[in-house]
Amino acid sequence: MTTVTSAGQAISWSELEAAAPAITEVGRRLLYARGDGEAILATIRGDGLPRIHPVNVGLVDGRLYTFVIGSSAKRVDLERDGRYAIHTHQDPAAPSEVLLRGHARLVQDGPERDRAAADWPFTVDESYVLFELTIAAALLGDRPTANDWPPHYTAWPGRAD
C-alpha cells in the first residue's frame, strides 16, 4: 500500500477516498460521466514543456490506472519523468472539476496488470503499457450549476496549487 510520508509521497485512490471523500466522490462521477473512465492527462516532455493527452483511466482495486500505447510520447514522458496531472471532463450543466497530480508507477506484467486489463473499455494487448497514477495532490472545484461562481475549492492535502 502506498502511503503519505512527511516528504509528501503519493497515495493510492483508496487512500485518497479515506482522506478526502468529497473529492473522490465527485472525481469518480466525473471520470465515469461518459461511461468509460476518461480524463485529460498532462505529462512533461523531455524539454520540460507540458504535453496534453486524452486518456482512458480506470479505478481497479482502489487504484487509478491508465493504459497507454507502448510507442506513444506519453509512455516515454511517464517513464522518464513520472510526474503527471489529470483533469476530469466537465458536465456543462454542473461544471465541477477534479484535478489530480502525482507520479506514475510503471506496472510490469503480472496479476496487477491482468486485473486492470480484465474490465478495460478496450482490448488491451502486449503493445499497451500500464501505469498506476499515484496521487500527491487533489483539488475539487465544486459548482452545482453553471451559474454558480466562483467554484468552492477543496484541496488535499490542504493546498494543491
Q: How many domains does the chain have?
A: 1
Is the pLDDT assigned to residue 4 strictly greater than 60?
no
Is the pLDDT assigned to residue 1 strictly greater than 70?
no
Q: If you compute the radius of gyration of the chain from its CA atoms, what whole number of angstroms results?
A: 15
Instruction: Evaluate whether residue 3 is within a structural domain.
Output: no
Instruction: Evaluate whether residue 114 is within a structural domain.
Output: yes
This prediction's pTM: 0.90
When pLDDT is cut at 50, 70 and 90, the band that residue 3 belongs to is very low
Q: What is the pLDDT of residue 91?
A: 82
Instruction: Evaluate whether residue 5 is within a structural domain.
Output: no
Contact 97, 30 (CB under 8 A): yes
Return the closest-CA partner of residue 43 out of 52, 32, 54, 31.
Answer: 52
CA distance linking residue 44 with residue 21, whole number of Å: 29
pLDDT digit string, tens, across residues 144-160: 898 999 999 999 997 54
Q: What is the pLDDT of residue 100?
A: 98
Three-state secondary-structure class, residue 89: coil
Question: Which CATH number characterizes residue 128's domain?
Answer: 2.30.110.10
What phi and psi, each to the nearest 5 degrees, are found at residue 79? -70, -35
Return the closest-CA partner of residue 29 out of 59, 51, 5, 9.
Answer: 59
Instruction: Evaluate whether residue 7 is within a structural domain.
Output: no
CA 55 to chain CA centroid, Å, is 10
- pLDDT top residue among 30 and 1: 30
Cα end-to-end span (Å), the chain: 25
Three-state secondary-structure class, residue 58: strand
Is the pLDDT assigned to residue 90 strictly greater than 90?
no
Instruction: Evaluate whether residue 1 is within a structural domain.
Output: no
Is the pLDDT assigned to residue 86 strictly greater than 70?
yes
pLDDT digit string, tens, across residues 116-143: 999 899 999 999 999 999 999 999 999 9
